[in-house]
Amino acid sequence: MPMLVSELAPRIGAELLGHGADIEVTEVCALSEADAAGLSFVSSKKHLSALRATRAGAVILTPDLAAEAPCVCLLAVNPTLAFARAVELLHPRRRAPAGCHQSAVVAASAAIHPSASIGALCVIEEGVVIEAGAEIGPGCVIQRDSQIGADARLVAAVTICARSIIGKRVLLHPGAVIGREGFGFARDGERWVRIPQIGRVRLGDDVEVGSNSAVDRGAIGETVIGNGVKIDNLIQIGHNVEVGENTAMAACSGISGSTRIGKNCTIAGAVGMAGHLQIGDDVHFTGMAMVTRSFERSGTYSSGIPAMPSADWRRNVARFRHLDEMARRLLRLEQQVAELQDARRPVPDLSDGEKKSDKTA
């Protein structure tokens, strides 16, 4: 969708630099692959050489970089945010048509807003409520008594289990499973007896859940994902977990049951968290962190051993197995060296007999 940059700028929170610089752009591009109809952006000085070499017609950047740009400049305090808006304007998403596809199986008791779209081969069970503007892509299953908020979008092949509550503008990707009966068992001798999971999942507004991720329902009560939480692909959220607003979690992470995570946290990829932990606001975990205790204080936490050549790794790991012993040997050595030092000091003192006072100094 072609647009004049003069028209685009105010709509993305940017300012067009200079006069007579009005050009038309038709698409967004990477700096290195843009042509004269392309709009690009620079988010950091790391990309300065790409900026200087770009053939883009226009670029979004912070004012301090404008002098380096060989093209029309759109100035923004937060170029990434302005760019996100520009992508939306230049590449508007095609909305699915309102109404139920004839191949969908929709229970008579389901209440579907006329402006909502139900795709091909969806199953909408009894008691489901789907609000205005929601788009349910092909192949989704929404089990009984669930609610889908206004303008939510289920891309395709999403499964919503019974009684789940999905907020407004939620985005769920293919393969996501919301509201599964969680992993709760009682022991009966050696056998495991399932504890029926009678709670539910509540996803706040503007939540996103990625492909093949699973958010389990509460055992009793709710699993609560706060407004604005972003969950990437292949993530497991156990029963009764609570995640605070605007926390973001990268792919392959797993959060065990009943853990509470605060607001504005970032959880990098493949992080594992034990159950029943308390994680405060503004807590950040780096990739593959192993979280075995609560971290209530804001900060960045890490664990794991970064990869190294396997031969080095084998040698170091072999030593790790004896690290406690090494620490004990180190301590003993310190004592022995202290004794040796003590013993040495008196040597020149032998002649003056002040040994004791020296030792306690």
The footprint of a second copy on residues 95-124 (CB under 8 A) is: 101, 103, 105, 119-121, 123
Instruction: Report the greatest alpha carbon distance in the chain.
Output: 108
Say if strands 123-124 and 185-188 run parallel, antiparallel, or are unpaired.
unpaired
Q: How far is the CB of 19 from a second copy (least distance, A)?
A: 28
| β-sheet bridge partners, residue 130 | 112, 148
Binds a second copy by CB under 8 A, chosen from 6, 21, 127, 230: 230
- Give 19 or 247: the residue with its C-beta nearer to a second copy: 247
Check residue 203 for interaction with a second copy (CB under 8 A).
no
Name the one range near a second copy by CB under 8 A: 3-11, 57-65, 67-75, 181-189.
Answer: 181-189
> Which one of 47, 91, 239, 284 is the catalytic residue?
239
Check residue 336 for interaction with a second copy (CB under 8 A).
yes
Considering only residues 340-359, where is the footprint of a second copy by CB under 8 A? 340-341, 343-344, 347
Check residue 85 for interaction with a second copy (CB under 8 A).
yes
Q: How far is the CB of 333 from a second copy (least distance, A)?
A: 6
Binds a second copy by CB under 8 A, chosen from 20, 190, 356, 357: 190
- Given a contact cutoff of 8 angstroms between Cβ atoms, the answer to whether 89 and 74 are in contact is no
Name the one range near a second copy by CB under 8 A: 3-11, 58-66, 77-85, 109-117.
Answer: 77-85
Report how far residue 8's alpha carbon sits from residue 206's, in angstroms, rounded to the nearest whole number. 25
Q: How far is the CB of 18 from a second copy (least distance, A)?
A: 25
Please name which of 82, 65, 77, 66 lies closest in space to residue 28, comparing C-alpha atoms.
82
Binds a second copy by CB under 8 A, chosen from 45, 52, 95, 319: 319
Cβ-proximal residues to 271 (8 Å cutoff; 6+ apart), any chain: 249, 250, 253, 254, 285, 287, 288, 289, 290, 291
- Give 52 or 322: the residue with its C-beta nearer to a second copy: 322
Which residue is it, tokens 């004012």?
A: 63
- Give 5 or 169: the residue with its C-beta nearer to a second copy: 169
Q: How far is the CB of 242 from a second copy (least distance, A)?
A: 14
Check residue 83 for interaction with a second copy (CB under 8 A).
yes
Tell me the C-alpha to C-alpha distance, in Å, between residue 349 and each of 270, 337, 341, 343, 356: 62, 19, 13, 10, 10
Q: How many CB atoms neighbour CB 322 within 10 A?
A: 11
Considering only residues 3-42, where is the footprint of a second copy by CB under 8 A? 28-30, 33
SS3 of 289, please? Answer: coil
- Give 16 or 252: the residue with its C-beta nearer to a second copy: 252
Which residue type sits at 11? R
- Please say if 284 is a catalytic residue: no
Tokens of 38: 């392309």
Considering only residues 277-296, where is the footprint of a second copy by CB under 8 A? 285-293, 295
Name the one range near a second copy by CB under 8 A: 52-60, 62-70, 138-146, 352-360.
Answer: 138-146
CA angle centred on 313, ends 307 and 317, rounded to 5° = 120
Q: How far is the CB of 20 from a second copy (least distance, A)?
A: 28
Name the one range near a second copy by CB under 8 A: 3-11, 15-23, 47-55, 136-144.
Answer: 136-144
Considering only residues 249-268, where is the footprint of a second copy by CB under 8 A? 250-252, 254, 256, 263-264
| β-sheet bridge partners, residue 319 | none
Check residue 53 for interaction with a second copy (CB under 8 A).
no
Instruction: Give phi and psi for 20, each to the nearest 5.
Output: 65, 10
Check residue 321 for interaction with a second copy (CB under 8 A).
yes
Burial track 262-289 (b if 16+ CB lie within 10 A, e otherwise): bbbbbbbbbbbbbeebebbbebbbebbb
- Give 196 or 353: the residue with its C-beta nearer to a second copy: 196
Report how far residue 244's alpha carbon sits from residue 247's, in angstroms, rounded to the nearest whole number. 6
Which residues are annotated as catalytic? 239
